[in-house]
Structure 1
């Protein structure tokens, strides 16, 4: 099986140049790449996108980033390729999703929006490190999470272990598409804040939202 193709930092900087065009008059996000590989090549990509998850993988010194690729086709049958917010992986003995240590814990909310005794101290695309307060950490969570500046969305998770400091680690069931993107986008922004040396190569505005399909 061939090795997976990855992009270097220099290649990512070139992609940034290609995606740094102005926004449209209507305020829409940048449109990504226009594909013009011919009818057969474009058709093959559309078939693959319909049956598999396509990604663009970038390898940096201490991190790997996997950008989901999304294909859209407009009324003129023009195909565009867009980059969604990436999953960030941290290098080490085991490659694992990068976890954000929150300076200010995020409270978990009940269905009616009230704060619970639970708060999130670490966040990853598929995991939470939760302080349950005086109560025992529940085996399952069905709560709402509000990222800073965002509306709350539902989180379902199961407890996988309890740490020595009393914090409990939870594995998050795969959230719905847009909610998963919101988590990845927030983590990506925070990763850039903590690692400004990467910002010239990986600006947040190179990512575009995918139009919703009816």
Structure 2
């Protein structure tokens, strides 16, 4: 095999056997992930993760799951690779963040907790599709709260992208604070877990 190959065929076969063993605990393995291999490859990977955005990617059905790699320094000043929260994308004519469909739609709330007239139909970490009710038109921008299932309200800042069929509108959420985007990501990931439990039994986060 080429000198830079990380694993021999025998090692790959062994890993396959262990993974299919009932005694193999994937959760435990993921919390103590080690990267073995040629020192040059380890050095390259460390430099890439330190200076660039590096992700692990998997394709399942019509979805792409991207897991970011991060360098963490422990209390012994040893650098370790840590897996971040996964991003989930839909594969189609173009790659786009996985959208959570709410059925029935969920009202966006104003600062007083009252329904705003915009109801979330689909939402991702990048944008939201709303149904416009009891309003003459979809506003150009909004600052409203998303609080489905009784979760602590997530403040969203939307900028109108386009109107659809007279009663729906798509908004870009790039103006939303990063802290709220991360909370939205956690909520969407939780819902994706419920919809696709077979994927998340072996996924970090």
Common fold, TM-score beyond 0.5? yes
Asked if structure 1 preserves the Cα contact closer than 8 Å seen for 2:154 and 2:183, the reply is no
2:104 is aligned with 1:104:
yes
| Per-residue deviation, 1:108 | 1.6
- Of 142-151 and 173-182, more deviation after overlay is shown by 173-182
Asked if structure 1 preserves the Cα contact closer than 8 Å seen for 2:26 and 2:202, the reply is no
Structure 2 CA distance for partners of 1:44 and 1:99, relative to 1, 3 Å: same
2:197 is aligned with 1:206:
no
Q: Give the equivalent residue in structure 1 for 2:80.
A: 80
Asked if structure 2 preserves the Cα contact closer than 8 Å seen for 1:118 and 1:132, the reply is yes
Asked if structure 2 preserves the Cα contact closer than 8 Å seen for 1:32 and 1:81, the reply is no
Structure 2 CA distance for partners of 1:155 and 1:49, relative to 1, 3 Å: farther
Q: Distance in 2 between matches of 1:81 and 1:173?
A: 29
| Relative contact order, higher structure (CA 8 A, sep 6+) | 1
Q: Give the equivalent residue in structure 2 for 1:127.
A: 127
2:123 is aligned with 1:116:
no
Q: Give the equivalent residue in structure 2 for 1:183.
A: 184
| Per-residue deviation, 1:96 | 2.5
Structure 2 CA distance for partners of 1:185 and 1:133, relative to 1, 3 Å: same
Asked if structure 2 preserves the Cα contact closer than 8 Å seen for 1:32 and 1:82, the reply is no
| Per-residue deviation, 1:109 | 2.3
- Aligned residue pairs, count: 185
Q: Give the equivalent residue in structure 2 for 1:210.
A: none
Q: Distance in 1 between matches of 2:39 and 2:157?
A: 42
Asked if structure 2 preserves the Cα contact closer than 8 Å seen for 1:119 and 1:130, the reply is yes
Question: 1:170 is paired with a residue of what secondary structure?
Answer: strand
Point out the structure with the larger helix share. Answer: 2
Asked if structure 2 preserves the Cα contact closer than 8 Å seen for 1:70 and 1:82, the reply is yes
* TM-score for the superposition, normalised by structure 1: 0.68
Q: Distance in 2 between matches of 1:38 and 1:165?
A: 59
Root mean square deviation of aligned Cα: 3.4
| Per-residue deviation, 1:204 | 7.5
Q: Give the equivalent residue in structure 2 for 1:20.
A: 27
Question: 1:168 is paired with a residue of what secondary structure?
Answer: strand
Asked if structure 2 preserves the Cα contact closer than 8 Å seen for 1:174 and 1:180, the reply is no
Gap runs ≥5 in structure 2: 1-14
| Per-residue deviation, 1:194 | 2.9
Asked if structure 2 preserves the Cα contact closer than 8 Å seen for 1:58 and 1:65, the reply is yes
Q: Distance in 2 between matches of 1:97 and 1:70?
A: 21
- Of 76-85 and 135-144, more deviation after overlay is shown by 76-85
Q: Give the equivalent residue in structure 2 for 1:65.
A: 65
Question: 1:186 is paired with a residue of what secondary structure?
Answer: helix
User: What does 1:133-148 correspond to in 2, within 5 Å?
Assistant: 133-135=133-135, 136-148=137-149
Structure 2 CA distance for partners of 1:204 and 1:134, relative to 1, 3 Å: farther
| Per-residue deviation, 1:122 | 0.6
